Amino acid sequence: MKRQRPIILGIVGDSAAGKTTLTSGLVNILGPERVTHVCTDDYHKYDRRERAELGITALHPHCNYLDVLELHLERLHYGQPILKPVYDHTTGSLVRPEYVQPAEFVIVEGLLGFHSAVMRQFYDVKVYLDPPEDLRRVWKVKRDTAKRGYTPEQVLAELEKREPDSRDFIRPQRQEADIVVRFSPPPGVPAAEAGPTLNVRLVLRPTIPHPDLSYLWESPANTDSAIRLGLDRDKGRPVDILEIDGHVTAEHAAGLEKAIWQHLPDLRPLSEDQFGDYQDRTEVRHSSPLALTQLLITYHLLRKYSDVAQIPFAPPVAALSRMKPAAVPVP
């Protein structure tokens, strides 16, 4: 079988921006056996107690082994295994490392994945999650109180402490993304009450080719305003904007979903309950905007996979690859 290098997707966003939720749907669409998931939180240099003693947050580059992450991204790019560190969010401790062999697709998600140019060169697709701060705070309080043992007061205090690092190191990475995903409540709806009605706004930058879905809006019969595609400028640069409202009807969501599936000939369409879901405390909910976002990102991964298949696999050029195993002396 012809060997092909893995396709690497980078997903970056602040804490509780929805990275894991987005990733889980992508894994279901592509198939768990085809995906390797790497969380950059595992590259924390200090555990929770040490960070508190040092007065440093996990968002600061100096709190992470970013040089090791750069080396590991290079190895994954060339299809080589890594011995990945592991950070346990439940206990806040660093535990036994994990041997990771890259599959066909590698999803790298976390806080500082686009921090350096060295990292960015190894991604095939880069996605940044950019929810409004009031919504992200709601998500973080829900998650950290339910899964990590914090009180709401502790979570809010930590958010205030982290804000300077969020401003200086996390949010600037937005400009490096090919796709910016912004889930937000409908106008006039408080973040805490939005639930499954969240809208999504996708900034599609011309750094990668996007599927042509314009024909969906060219038909005079299409008067649904819950899905909109148009041209705009983002930070002074021309972009396409795809907006999907949370109240989109099942019929129109299915129409866009079908159009995207047609661009995914290597996959069989999945049922609605296999992607687009998210956890709301103890309840699992479904979001059509989330499902369509996951499908669109999948399109980009498979397009890259198809493009790379035409290129001969380049073995790693690092000195390690040229070294021969040392001879084992015979006793």
Residue 1 forms part of a structural domain: no
Sequence-separated (6 or more) residues with CB below 8 Å from residue 289: 183, 198, 199, 200, 244, 245, 246, 248
**Range in 22-36, 117-131, 276-290 the model is least confident about:** 276-290
- In terms of Cβ atoms closer than 10 Å to its own Cβ (0-12, 13-18, 19+), residue 142 is middle
Alpha helix segments (H runs only) across 58-151: 66-77, 117-120, 133-147
pLDDT higher at 94 or 143? 94
Residue 198 forms part of a structural domain: yes
Find the domain containing 219 and state its range.
Answer: 7-310
If we measure between CA atoms, which residue out of 252, 254, 196, 255 comes closest to residue 225?
252
Calculate mean pLDDT across residues 96-114: 98
Q: How many structural domains are present in the chain?
A: 1
pTM comes to 0.90
Residue 315 forms part of a structural domain: no
Residue 271 forms part of a structural domain: yes
**What whole-number distance in Å separates Cα of residue 122 and Cα of residue 65?**
17
- Where does the pLDDT of residue 319 fall: very low under 50, low under 70, confident under 90, or very high at 90 and above? very low
Q: Two tokens at 286?
A: 């479904």
Residue 323 forms part of a structural domain: no
Q: What is the pLDDT of residues 275-284, one digit of tens each?
A: 888 877 677 8
Report the CATH number that the domain containing residue 249 is assigned in CATH.
Answer: 3.40.50.300
